[in-house]
Amino acid sequence: MLVVVLVLSQTVYGAGHEVIRVHDGDTIRVKGDSGELTIRLAGIDAPERFNKKMGFGQSFSQEAAKYLAGLVLNESVELKECGVDRYGRILGIIVLQGTDINLEMIKMGFAEVYRGKPVRGFDRAPYIEAQKEAVEKKRGMWVQGMEYVSPSDWLRSQRLERASSISLTKGDE
């Protein structure tokens, strides 16, 4: 009998990555031996910040970015790679002094568990449990209760609103 064992591994870049920029509540820029890398925190989705295409940002977007910056900016972190997203960013788990920063963002109510296709080999269970507790205790963005809108839903509505305003403008010409 032949037994095949499939091992899913994560590339660990090590602890030599200094966080040089926090883009928002789920994306950072690090500098290390391999140069600068943009990292999208795997397994989480934080409120969307202001950008030129969408305009104003989502509630709690600034708070999420500030909280993440307070945790990791100018710190040396360990990066566990989980893959690459469609924009070419590394999907990763950020660890600072033994703490899973991705999970910390969920625990404090500054991100939700990513609702899209999960990264292969990524264990969402602790993230789901942390989110349940954050919602129950109304931490961070969860204080909004029924007014809360998921970042993915918010982006979708902004894109639809933008598309309809563009088509209305063209119809006026």
Structure tokens at 32: 């290390």
Which domains can be identified in the chain, with CATH numbers? 11-172 (2.40.50.90)
Catalytic residues: 40, 48, 89
For 12, 43, 94, the CA distances from 121, given in Å and listed in that order, are 14, 11, 16
Q: Could you tell me which of 158, 15, 138, 9 has the C-alpha nearest to residue 76?
A: 15
pLDDT < 50 stretches in the chain: 1-10
d(CA 167, CA 170): 5
How much is the pLDDT for 171?
52
pLDDT digits (tens, 9 = 90+) for 38-88: 999 999 999 998 765 656 678 899 999 999 999 999 999 999 999 999 889
